[in-house]
Amino acid sequence: MTTIDASARPVDPDGTVAAAPRRTAAAPRRTTGTEPHPPTVAAPRRAAATGPHQPTVTAPRRPASRAGGPAAADQRPGRLTVAERDTRDSADNSVRDSMRRLPRFAQLPLTFLTGRPHTGQRPLRLTPTVHLVTATASVGVGLTATGVALALSGWWLALLLPGWASTLHGARNLRMMVFHQCAHRNMWARKRPDQILGKIVAGVLMVQHFERYSAEHVADHHALHHMTLRDPTVQAFLVSLRLRPGMTRRQMWRQVLGRLVSPVFHARFLWARIRSYSHAASRTERALTATGYAAVAALATVAHAWPLVLVGWVLPMTVFFQISNTLRLCVKHTFPAPWQTQRRGKAYFASLTNAIFIGEPAPASSLRGGATVRAWARWWTRMLLVHFPSRYLVLTGDTVCHDFHHRRPMSRDWANYIFARQADIDGGHRGWPPYREIWGLIPAINLVLDSLAEADPDEFDPQRLAETSDRELFAAFDD
C-alpha cells in the first residue's frame, strides 16, 4: 500500500528534493551515475489533507511484491520508460543543425520557431520586460487586424485568421510565461511588482486567481506530489479528459478530440475559469475586475463595437484559448512507469519532463534534381502549415523548454530560455541527468498518452479522488 504524504515540500532552486513520499515494498535504490544523492528527511506518516484547496486522495490497494517475483523483475536495471525509449539525448543536435543549410538570416527565426539553437549559435539576450511588451503588442495587433476585417468586410475578412492567431498567441504568452514567472516571484524577482502584474493578467485573461495558483503550483506541481494524484496536471487528465491507464492511443485521441469540439466541455471550462478567479479573489479585486469589464461593455455599446469584442476577444479567449490550453496540457509531463518505485531525486524528476522542439530535419544535401525540389517543397509546407501553427498557437513562449524550468525553476535567465537551456547542456547540466527531447507536437502528445497507457491503474485511479469540483479540475489546465 502507498501512503501519500499531504505535506507540500517544494523543490529547492537547484532541484534537490527535501523528502520523498513513504512507500512500502520499495525496490532497493539504484544509481545511474548522474543521479544526485541528496540527504533524505523522513516525512511524517499522516492522512491526506482535506479542505477547500486540496482534494481528498485515498491510498490504492497494491499487493506487496515478493523478492524474485514479477515486480522484482520489472525493477531490473536497464528497463526504459516510455520517455527514455521514444526521446533523444539533447547532446545530439543533428535535427536543428540540418537546417543550417538555409541562409544565415534564416537561422535566428528558425531557432525561435524550433526552440533549439544550432551548434555554436550566438545567444540573443532578452529580458522579462521584452516578453511582456511583445505579448501585449501581439494582442493589440490581433485586435486591430480583426477590427479592420470586420469594418471592411468582403475579402478583408481573411484577416480574421491572422487576427485571431495574433490575439491568441499574445494571450498564451501572457499566461504561460508572464503569469507563470510572476507566480514563482521570478518575473522581475521583485515580490510586489510580480504580484501586481500576476493579478492583472489573471483578471484580464480570467484564469485561476493569482495567489491560489501561485500557492498550489509551487506546493503540488513543483514538489514531491509532482505527477501524483495531488498534482493538478494528473487530475486534469484523469477527470476532466477522462483518460485512463490501459486505454489505447487511439481511444485517448478520440477522447481528447471529442472534448475539443464539445460545447459542453467549453462551457464548463469557461465557467470554471470564472469561478476559479472569483472564488479566491478579494472583494476589492472582484469589484475592480467587474468595473473593468463593465467599462469595456459601455465603450463597446457607445462605439457600436460589440462585433469586435465578441469576435476579436471573446471567441479567441474562450474556445481557441481552451483548445490551446488542452493540447498544451497533453504534452507537459510523462507519467511515471509502474516499476519506478524510487519517486525522488533529480534523475526521477528529470525523467518526467522533456523538451518539445518544433520542426523536422531539412532535406539531405545529397539529393539531386527533382528529388531536391520535392523534398524542399514538402519540408517548407510542413514547417509553415504544421510546425509553425503548433509553435505559435500551442507551444508558445518557453513551453518548448519546460524541462529547463523544472530543473531551474528560479533561474534569473528564464527570459533567454532557449539559450539558457543550451548553456546548461554545454556546462554539463550540473548534477542532473542529460537533457532529452522530442520533435513535433503530435509525437509529443503521443509520448504522454503512451506513458499514461502504461502507468499503474491502481496508482492513477480517479476513484481515489473525492471532493474535487469542476472549478478545481479545470483550473488544473492552467497549471
d(CA 346, CA 217): 19
The single-letter code of the amino acid at 71 is A
Q: SS3 letters for 350-415?
A: HCCCCEEECCCCCCCCCCCCHHHHHHHHHHHHHHHHHHHHHHHHHCCHHHHHHHHHHHCCCCCCHH
Q: In sequence order, what are the beta bridge partners of 438?
A: 356
Determine whether 155 is exposed, middle or buried from the number of CB atoms within 10 Å of its CB (0-12, 13-18, 19+).
Answer: exposed
Q: Specify the DSSP element, H or E, that contains 56.
A: strand 56-57
| CA distance readout (Å), 75 to 81, 345, 445, 479 | 11, 17, 26, 31
pLDDT of residue 219: 63
pLDDT of residue 8: 38
Per-10-residue mean pLDDT, the chain, length 479: 38 41 38 39 37 47 36 51 89 97 98 98 96 98 98 97 99 97 95 96 95 80 78 90 96 98 96 92 95 97 97 98 97 93 89 96 94 97 98 97 94 96 96 96 98 95 74 63
Q: Specify the DSSP element, H or E, that contains 439.
A: strand 436-439
pLDDT of residue 95: 98
- Decide: helix, strand or coil at residue 260: helix
pLDDT of residue 464: 86
The single-letter code of the amino acid at 90 is S
Contact 433, 83 (CB under 8 A): no
Cell numbers for 188, please give them. Answer: 522581475
DSSP code per residue over 117-184:
PPTTPPP----HHHHHHHHHHHHHHHHHHHHHHHHH-GGGGGGHHHHHHHHHHHHHHIIIIIIHHHHT
The single-letter code of the amino acid at 360 is E
Vertex 158: Cα angle to 153 and 163 (nearest 5): 100
Strand ranges in 171-277 using DSSP code E only, listed in sequence order = none
pLDDT of residue 70: 33
| CA distance readout (Å), 190 to 122, 195, 198, 412 | 29, 8, 12, 12
pLDDT of residue 447: 97
pLDDT of residue 83: 84
What does residue 329 show for φ and ψ, rounded to 5 degrees?
Answer: -55, -35
Cell numbers for 222, please give them. Answer: 513543483
Contact 210, 223 (CB under 8 A): no
